[in-house]
Structure 1
Amino acid sequence: MMSPLLGVLGGMGPAATADFLAKLAAHTPAQRDQDHLATIVYSDPTTPDRSDAILAGGENPLPAMFRGIAFLDEAGCDLIAIPCNTAHHWYDDLASATTVPVVHIVDAVAAQVEREAPEAKTLGLMATDGTVRAGIYDKVLAPSGRNVIDLTELGPDNPVMAGIRAVKAGALDGARDILTNAMRELVARGAEGIVYGCTDVSAVLEIPASGVSVPVWDAADALAIACVNRLRG
């Protein structure tokens, strides 16, 4: 009997998709290849930039994402994961385009925070400017009395965006240094916990985080755990 089939709407970006798959394997209880989840990945790195669409009226990425959702639906997937935080600005549209359940990445993070540090009320968000502007995390976290702080007011000097761009360009060591400094700045501003709210950040920073003493949650890691729990229950 074939195991439940996970569909991954990926390519946003490619390194983030590869990192999510590695985390999925790491969190799957397995003694042999056959114990792992069957997975189909639809990876289209030509999907228009999600932040550009939100912030500057750039090309709409939704048609490209709809094609991926349709592919995964037709492939017979039992669950769909989208390892891109900013893409969740269009979550309702994407979830409505299929009868297959789609895991919400921020719900997965929120569940971890509530379980592991319910007292943490101010979270430092390391995410794209598009994710921040769209309020993707605020909408989910605010009902539990949590607020989110970020570094977007720094504009072109925002180290989180600089680090994300470095990841996309393949400059991983430089990205790691930039993003670690961004974490320290968020803690200095009062963050009681840090969320890696961009899967490109997840691809280069570890948990526990180097240089900070507050708890850290990784959205890609949370999504992987949520998928394993849903399909292995």
Structure 2
Amino acid sequence: MMSPLLGVLGGMGPAATADFLAKLAAHTPADRDQEHIATIVYSDPTTPDRSDAILAGGESPLPAMFRGVAFLDEAGADLIAIPCNTAHAWYDDLAAATMVPVVHIVDAVGAQVERDAPGVTTLGLMATDGTVRSGIYEKVLSQSGRQVIDLTDLGPDNPVMAGIRAVKAGALDGARDILTNALRELVGRGAQGIIYGCTDVSAVLDIPPEGSDVPAWDANDALAIACVNRLRG
């Protein structure tokens, strides 16, 4: 009997996809190669920018993502993961395009917050401007009475976006410094916990965050754990 196959709709960005796969392996209970989760990855970094589509009416990424979902569906995936937070603004369309279940990254994070820190009411969101504008985190977390704060009011000086761009350009050390400062800014604004709500942030920041004593949750990590739980029961 073949083991369940996880399909990964990746490339948004490439470092984030690699980070997800590393975390999937780390969270899988296995003593040898053969006990890990069978995975097929569709990675298309040419997918149009998700934030540009949300914020500025840029080219829709949906046709490219549809192609990826169709590929994973045809390949026989039993579950699909999308290690890109902003892509989940189109979650309903993507889930409707396949009979294969698609894990929702924000639901995975929300479940971890509820389990780990039910008393935390104000969460700092480190995400793309597109993710913030889409409201996907606010929609899920407000259901449990939580407030989400961010740094989008800083406009072009938003250090979260600067850090994300640095990750995509391969400047990981510089990105880590920028994003650590952004995290401290959110804590200074009253965040009782931090969500790494962009998988590029997940690729460079650790849990717990360096230089801060607030709890943090990593969307890529939460997605990996949710996939392991779904496929391994």
Give 1:130's aligned residue.
Answer: 130
Deviation at 1:208, TM superposition (A): 1.1
> SS at 2:9's partner residue?
strand
Structure 1 position 205 matched with structure 2 position 205: yes
Deviations 1:177-230 (A, max 9, x none): 000000000001000100000000000001111011110000000000000000
Give 1:182's aligned residue.
Answer: 182
For 1:64, give the aligned amino acid. A
* Paired positions, count: 233
For 1:197, give the aligned amino acid. G
Counterparts of 1:35 and 1:205 in 2: how far apart (Å)? 28
For 2:180, give the aligned amino acid. T
Counterparts of 1:211 and 1:2 in 2: how far apart (Å)? 45
Give 2:144's aligned residue.
Answer: 144
Deviations 1:145-169 (A, max 9, x none): 0110000000010000000000000
Give 2:195's aligned residue.
Answer: 195
Give 2:56's aligned residue.
Answer: 56
For 2:102, give the aligned amino acid. V
| Equivalent residue runs for 1:78-227 within 5 Å | 78-227=78-227
> SS at 1:41's partner residue?
strand
Deviation at 1:2, TM superposition (A): 1.5
The TM-score with structure 2 as length reference comes to 1.00
RMSD over aligned Cα atoms: 0.4
Runs of 4+ in 1 over 6 A off after TM superposition: none
For 1:142, give the aligned amino acid. S
For 1:33, give the aligned amino acid. D
User: Which stretches in structure 2 are left out of the alignment for 5+ residues?
Assistant: none
For 2:120, give the aligned amino acid. A
Give 2:2's aligned residue.
Answer: 2
| Equivalent residue runs for 1:33-52 within 5 Å | 33-52=33-52
For 1:7, give the aligned amino acid. G
| Equivalent residue runs for 1:57-76 within 5 Å | 57-76=57-76
Deviation at 1:43, TM superposition (A): 0.2
Deviation at 1:127, TM superposition (A): 0.1
For 2:162, give the aligned amino acid. A
For 2:34, give the aligned amino acid. Q
| Equivalent residue runs for 1:16-35 within 5 Å | 16-35=16-35
Counterparts of 1:18 and 1:3 in 2: how far apart (Å)? 22
> SS at 2:99's partner residue?
coil
Give 1:77's aligned residue.
Answer: 77
Counterparts of 2:148 and 2:136 in 1: how far apart (Å)? 11
User: Which stretches in structure 1 are left out of the alignment for 5+ residues?
Assistant: none
Counterparts of 2:222 and 2:171 in 1: how far apart (Å)? 25
> SS at 1:84's partner residue?
coil
The TM-score with structure 1 as length reference comes to 1.00
Deviations 1:91-117 (A, max 9, x none): 000000000000000000000000000
Deviation at 1:58, TM superposition (A): 0.4
